[in-house]
Amino acid sequence: MTPEQPEQPAPLRLFTCSPTKLNTWVDCPRRFRFAYVDRPSPPKGPPWAHLSYGTSAHNALRSWWDLPVGTRTPAAAGELVREGWLTDGYRDEDQSTKWRERAAEQVGHYASTLDATAEPVGVERTVGMRSEHLAFSGRVDRIDDRGDHLVVVDYKLGRSVPTDTDARSSMALALYAEATQRTMRRPCRRVELHHVPSGTVAAWEHDDDGVARQLARADAIGAEAQRATAAGDNEDSDADFPPAPGPLCGWCDFRAVCDEGRAAGPARAAWEGLPRV
Ligand code: SF4
């Protein structure tokens, strides 16, 4: 370097991330620090029933596609839920059993709407890509082959029924679509949210500009989180990872070690996040 050249900051390495990691930064930088920066990570609170419920349903749907075509029946889907049922977080055995049967019925009904003879090109398939700041990877619930294009399918088990607007505005789905297209070298611009309890399908067909906007947004979030992580080994970690207290604090795994989060509202019971029925 000649004396006249201004000193350039060292380039940051690519930020390794998933959609969850990016969204955690957006929701609360302190939570991001607890989950991804601090080692050892602070102890988490007790497990949540709604996560057990969601994971059980996802696992059953994954296994259903592994069955021989002739045995992919709605009843088999329900049975897979029962076999792999996760019991963590429920108030008691009675509540867990009721939800197990409810989930078995929901997953079975959802399976009845599927073409059991189809072969998705991916089930819980990991896709990845790089951008200016990101080394992105994520696991797609299902990638459907619809002839001349692929479709990203994301299962939803939550309380609210997703809309097409949710599918359009989801940064995660747009990143999945782009990563699927690059990983599998086939066009992929359609994303779908399949709400298993109601059978509702919300969908959006992105264009390249829409995907590019979401990718730019993800890049900016990743760069911000990366800068904080690079600077975050000083003593004032709150400056780099400020808390964002709000309604989410009641559901935060790190509420017990966060004064601002505890002040934001009451703790939620481990089963309170189960969908209303
Ligand atoms: S309790 Fe709230 S403020 Fe604290 S880390 Fe969790 S989300 Fe952030």
pLDDT over threshold 90, residue 7: no
Amino acid of residue 77: A
Predicted local confidence at residue 114, as pLDDT: 97
Q: Class of 122-215 per CATH?
A: alpha beta
Tell me the pTM. 0.92
Distance CA 176, CA 272 (A): 30
Q: Tens digits of per-residue pLDDT, 35-51?
A: 999 999 999 999 999 99
Mutation choice for ligand 1 from 257, 260, 262, 268, CB with most ligand atoms inside 8 A: 260
- What residue owns the CA closest to ligand 1's atom 1? 261
> 265 falls in which pLDDT band (50, 70, 90)?
confident
The count of other CB atoms within 10 Å of the CB of residue 39 is 5
At residue 8, φ and ψ (nearest 5 deg) are -95, 140
Give the pairing type, strands 188-195 and 15-17: unpaired
Amino acid of residue 196: V
Q: Where are the domains of the chain?
A: 46-119+247-277, 122-215
Nearest-atom index, ligand 1, CA of 258: 4
| Mean pLDDT of the region 199-213 | 97
Give the pairing type, strands 150-156 and 200-205: unpaired
At residue 27, φ and ψ (nearest 5 deg) are -70, -45
Predicted local confidence at residue 10, as pLDDT: 61
pLDDT over threshold 80, residue 216: yes
Nearest to 151 by CA among 106, 115, 112: 115
Q: Tens digits of per-residue pLDDT, 69-97?
A: 999 999 999 999 999 999 999 999 999 99
Predicted local confidence at residue 237, as pLDDT: 83
Predicted local confidence at residue 262, as pLDDT: 96
pLDDT over threshold 50, residue 276: yes
3 state DSSP class of 157: coil
Strand partners, 135: 16, 130
Amino acid of residue 254: F
Q: Tens digits of per-residue pLDDT, 224-264?
A: 999 999 886 656 688 899 999 999 999 999 999 999 999 99
Pocket of ligand 1 contains residue 252 by CB under 6 Å: yes
Q: Tens digits of per-residue pLDDT, 147-185?
A: 999 999 999 999 899 999 999 999 999 999 999 999 999
Mutation choice for ligand 1 from 37, 254, 257, 259, CB with most ligand atoms inside 8 A: 254
Predicted local confidence at residue 122, as pLDDT: 97
Structure-model confidence comparison of residues 29 and 239, the more confident one? 29
Distance CA 189, CA 207 (A): 7
Give the pairing type, strands 134-145 and 188-195: unpaired
Nearest-atom index, ligand 1, CA of 246: 2
- Cα 232 to ligand 1 centroid, rounded to whole Å: 17
Nearest-atom index, ligand 1, CA of 244: 3
Predicted local confidence at residue 194, as pLDDT: 98
pLDDT over threshold 70, residue 2: no
Predicted local confidence at residue 181, as pLDDT: 98
